[in-house]
Amino acid sequence: MIGQEVQFPAGFVWGSGISAHQAEGGNDANDWARFERAGGVKRGQVSGPASHHFERYAEDFALAAELGHQAVKLSVEWSRVEPRKGQWDEGAIAHYVDVVRSARDHGLSPYVVLHHFTNPLWLEQYGWWKGGETPALFERYVRRIAEPLGHWVDTWITVNEPMLLAGAGYLFGVWPPQERSYRSTWSVARNLMKAHILAYDAVHEVAGVCRVGPAVNVTAFKQPHRAPLRDRVLGSSLDWFANHYYIDRVRHRSDFIGIQYYSRATVQQLLSGDPLAVPDGMRRLPKTDMGWEIYPKGLYHTVRDMWQRCGLPIIVTENGIADANDERRSLFIRDHLVWLKRAIDEGADVRGYLHWALLDNFEWAEGFDARFGLIEVDYASGERTVRPSARYYEKICRSGAVSLVDPVPFDH
């Protein structure tokens, strides 16, 4: 018998996220800004002023609080804090102190990410993330920033989606530094493991009482029931490489695991590079504006698998949808949360859910076309408009429950 609502555990934390380079705007000193200037992004777009968040963070936190959020995932931009190797920008450090203090003043717990894809330009001379010295250079920066922020921050994320950074930047060559090399990809993955472990110890040393973990991208690998042996073997190898390889090596130095879930993938799709190549015997699913399949049950599978494998508390640190017209976002949220609760009911220790994103922002190689925000941003003026789905999510944040009977805005 299905009840009228799905109630989350007491103390479950609700919120949303954003990252520095995607939202702040006005920073030229990192590898992404250079990649953008060189034409690396769709239709030659550059992040420029982005979502104007560098100046408007207090307004954004006020909106998040008004929408019932209790936590906000945000990142510190390494290239602002250390624009030249060993030279610390005290103004930038003071800025981030103001940011985390402002989050607290608005009743939001800041979940601070220390590395969210971007790197200072000077890191090039060390071979970016291939270089053997990079984990230690990262650790220096972590010590420098974690100490002044520690008073306001109790949840730290070391590295955001390390395997995506390794894959997109060093294997597929679609992100900076645009390499295509297996050897580099392995070195980068291993250096990002070292970076996590060094940062974990450093933050615990300098930032006071807190919890520290990585945030990993997870994909639900699915196969038709009677998939050929080749696809089944390939499917499990991909599952291991994408979802577990990194975590298996860093979980002994993690207080929690941040899971970032967006979609499923089939071996056929990956081999053909065609997102429409859904094999016979599998249902076609609705898609986001970016063509990603909407597969809420995948959140259940990936959370359950991670819990069974690691036994560490889990926070869903990202989950969201590119949906410029806000037609599918509410239903997306509802369905993912219903499946998340199933994983919790089966024993997974899940502590919170942060929707991606608080604001429309610069979606990396897709530029500004993909709109993930609960809040719409007019990029020219910076004006913010709360979307109907943000109001829908607000009810969930305030009640800790997902109604199965209340109407969902734009339920197509």
| Residues engaged in binding ligand BGC (CB under 6 A) | 19, 22, 160-161, 164, 217, 260, 318, 356, 363
Measured from the CB of residue 317, what is the shortest distance to ligand BGC in angstroms? 9
Nearest residue (CB) to ligand BGC, 134 versus 217? 217
Measured from the CB of residue 289, what is the shortest distance to ligand BGC in angstroms? 11
Distance, CA of 373 to CA of 323 (rounded, Å): 8
Nearest residue (CB) to ligand BGC, 47 versus 160? 160
Under 8 Å between Cβ of 360 and 376: yes
Measured from the CB of residue 117, what is the shortest distance to ligand BGC in angstroms? 7
Nearest residue (CB) to ligand BGC, 260 versus 330? 260
Nearest residue (CB) to ligand BGC, 93 versus 333? 333
Measured from the CB of residue 115, what is the shortest distance to ligand BGC in angstroms? 11
Neighbours of 205 (CB within 10 A): 11
Measured from the CB of residue 164, what is the shortest distance to ligand BGC in angstroms? 6
Nearest residue (CB) to ligand BGC, 115 versus 334? 115
Measured from the CB of residue 238, what is the shortest distance to ligand BGC in angstroms? 17
Q: What is the 3-state secondary structure (H, E, C) of the chain?
A: CCCCEEECCCCCEEEEECCHHHHCCCCCCEHHHHHHHCCCCHHHCCCCCCCCHHHHHHHHHHHHHHCCCCEEEEECCHHHHCCECCECCHHHHHHHHHHHHHHHHCCCEEEEEEECCCCEHHHHHHCHHHCCCHHHHHHHHHHHHHHHHCCCCCEEEEEECHHHHHHHHHHCCCCCCCCCCHHHHHHHHHHHHHHHHHHHHHHHHHCCCCEEEEEEEEEEEECCCCCCHHHHHHHHHHHHHHHHHHHHHHHHHCCCEEEEEEEEEEHHHHHHCCCCCCCCCCCCCCECCCCCECCCHHHHHHHHHHHHHHCCCEEEEECCCCCCCCCCHHHHHHHHHHHHHHHHHCCCCEEEEEEECCECCCCHHHCCCCCCCCEEECCCCCCEEECHHHHHHHHHHHHCEEECCCCCCCCC
Measured from the CB of residue 358, what is the shortest distance to ligand BGC in angstroms? 12
Nearest residue (CB) to ligand BGC, 157 versus 350? 157
Under 8 Å between Cβ of 397 and 358: no
Under 8 Å between Cβ of 321 and 361: no
Measured from the CB of residue 359, what is the shortest distance to ligand BGC in angstroms? 11
Nearest residue (CB) to ligand BGC, 19 versus 134? 19
Measured from the CB of residue 320, what is the shortest distance to ligand BGC in angstroms? 7
Distance, CA of 387 to CA of 397 (rounded, Å): 15
Nearest residue (CB) to ligand BGC, 79 versus 223? 79
Measured from the CB of residue 361, what is the shortest distance to ligand BGC in angstroms? 7
Phi-psi region of 11 (alpha: psi -120 to 50; beta: other; left: phi over 0): left
Distance, CA of 278 to CA of 247 (rounded, Å): 29
Nearest residue (CB) to ligand BGC, 8 versus 356? 356
Nearest residue (CB) to ligand BGC, 56 versus 73? 73
Distance, CA of 262 to CA of 372 (rounded, Å): 12
Nearest residue (CB) to ligand BGC, 223 versus 269? 269
Measured from the CB of residue 218, what is the shortest distance to ligand BGC in angstroms? 11
